[in-house]
Chains A and B, each alone.
Chain A
Amino acid sequence: MAEIKILMAKENVKNSHQIDVALANGAYSNLEKAFKMKSVEITEEVKKSGLRGRGGAGFPAGIKWSFMPTGDRKKKPNYVVINADESEPGTFKDRWILERDPHLLIEGIVITSYAVESNTAYVYIRGEYVKQAKILQKAIDEAYEKGFLGKNILGSGFDLELTLHRGAGAYVCGEETALLESLEGKRGYPRIKPPYFPAAIGLFHCPTLVNNVETISNVPWILENGGEEFAKIGKPNNTGTKLLCVSGHVNFPGVYEVPLGINLLTLLETYCGGIRSRNKLKAVIPGGSSMPVLKAEECNVEMDFDSLKKAGTGLGSGAVIVMDETTCMVDVSLNLLKFYAHESCGQCTPCREGMPWMKRMVQRIKDGNGRPEDIPLILNVADYVGGDIDFSRGKLGKTICALGEAGSWPTIALLNKFREEFEYFCNNGKSMINRDKSIKTPENAVPEVVAT
């Protein structure tokens, strides 16, 4: 089967972020078709496609859309919010769409908003993406000029106001209810559930659909080719392609669009050119830093929601972090715990206190003062904060949002799967790994410095 490119179709098109180039390559061609359909028909098509949310949770998009009150059920304004916070460590896939094909995203937003009968949409982009925000803002301005946004789009009678909203540096704002709080001008505190879906109470107390950039960017293709065609790609219940962003110790890191279900080892060998310096593969985090690590021998696994869940981890945001034999897992654990301790919003005691506590214990091990009894103690704290992905250690859901789990899962997996490394460090006061801390940028990956 020829490689299907849904999201990276304009990969080899120069200046594809500019509207004229985008139009010449088919952008906005599905709007007329959409406006001829009833809104529910579009939602049905998305349901048929089997498209699952690309932000991390993998919830079926069509089902989420159908929660939105439309027709007679609509009592208040509906909102559509696009999550471009992209804050999960290891993730840089939405950035590709924002930089290279913003008009694909905007087309998806217009169709989605029409389908859920919303006349106002926001894109919440992480504050650090300054350049990406400028590119998207320019694309939005162009779309307004050409009549793809604003009043009476293409004479359809449908209005849509789209606003780009910049965050300001907070991991937790990628959580959809925290994102809504932030969009309302408040601290990014995740909201207490229920309601589980912002379709009930969302932005400004109105029904709201929150979807990831990548999810929405699939919508134009689904409309053009039909949900059934989309469902033929990938695997049953794991349909379509996925942007996988590979980082770490491979020869060619980057963003790759592949059908869901691709073998992880194939991805690393065929697409990413194998492990750098002919080193041995040690471990892979397959779905962003919150997902449990896989040991090298566990990496013969298919990259889709269900297969990775079965393997005791998750596809998450599609962020594949590759580590070779020079990586010390005590360092990795400390690095991640520093992240989660820093990013805990502080609302829930288990997360606010537990993350720094685990961080201090792993720091103590790294400083050479670890005690063998620290390892079960860290695992015990992790149980109280979040528990394990397969429910084997404590129950999930002790915190308002999933950040508790997000910090505990990788910690538990690292300690269990690489226990001998932690024990060695505790007993000998030093790492059993010959660490390589040098800067490893490959020479061919170094473009000239451009003063801006």
Chain B
Amino acid sequence: MSLKFSDEAQKKFENLLTRYPNKRAALLPVLHLAQEEFGGWVSPEAISYIAQLLGLTELDVYDTMSFYTMFYNQKMGRFVIEVCRTLSCEIMGASTVTEYLENKLGIKSGETTADGLFSIRNAECLGSCGTAPMMKVNDDFYENLTTQKLDKIIDLLKQKA
């Protein structure tokens, strides 16, 4: 099975290339685009596809990609929950948030639930220190967390799925 961007993504891709003097510089935005387009992770097939699009080797693409925490090299849950664990969040109770979620979802940080809905990860400072503790679920920040609020968020996400 070979991957291919949808027409809309192809248009975005072509526009990206016009913004940089060389193709390589578009690698990060193209990786973001590919991850969005191909199921929330960058598979070996996606790496080959990107390499071919940008005139790079697969190794070039993997070399860059593996440096950054936001590109996933394995399939993740539908909702990736990232609890910030850095200092400002930690002193406001972040470890209790992680524990609460782990118990609620029955998985450890770094794992995905059996139904493929939730993954929990610990993240380093996400720039929400004044509204700690916080977590990021896919693209969205959830701030000023409490256990009641966590219950509600998980319920809402389950409904959405």
Contacts and interface: CB of A to CB of B under 8 A. Distances in A.
Interface string A74-113: 0000000000001111111001000000000000000000
B33 to A, nearest CB: 10
Contacts of A429: none
A188 interface: yes
B124 A171 contact: yes
Contacts of B95: 437
A339 B92 contact: no
Given A130-B139, A184-B25, A441-B92, A89 B130 contact: no
A129 interface: yes
Given A249-B91, A339-B86, A128 B24 contact: no
A362 to B, nearest CB: 14
Given A438-B93, A439-B92, A446-B149, A129 B24 contact: no
Interface string A51-66: 0000000000000000
B131 to A, nearest CB: 7
Contacts of A338: 85
Nearest to B128: A92
Contacts of A327: 91
A86 B131 CA distance: 16
A290 to B, nearest CB: 11
A186 interface: yes
B21 A167 contact: no
Contacts of A417: none
Given A249-B91, A439-B96, A185 B133 contact: no
A287 interface: no
Nearest to A92: B127
A170 B68 contact: yes
B32 A166 contact: yes
Interface string A246-280: 11110001110000000000000000000000000
A127 interface: yes
A163 interface: yes
A335 B90 contact: yes
Interface residues of B, number: 56
Interface string A420-440: 000000000000000001111
Interface in A309-358: 319, 321, 323, 327, 331-332, 335-336, 338-339, 342-343, 345
A449 interface: yes
Nearest to A183: B25
B117 interface: no
Given A248-B88, A248-B92, A168 B25 contact: no
27 contacts: A89-B87, A89-B125, A91-B127, A91-B129, A92-B129, A127-B68, A130-B139, A163-B20, A168-B70, A170-B67, A170-B68, A171-B125, A185-B24, A247-B132, A249-B91, A289-B86, A289-B87, A338-B85, A437-B95, A437-B96, A439-B92, A439-B145, A439-B147, A441-B92, A441-B132, A446-B144, A452-B140
9 A-B pairs closest in CB distance: A185-B27, A439-B93, A168-B68, A247-B129, A169-B69, A169-B70, A247-B88, A187-B67, A253-B130
Interface of B: 19-22, 24-29, 31-32, 63-64, 67-71, 85-88, 90-93, 95-97, 123-133, 136, 139-142, 144-147, 149, 152-153, 156, 159-160
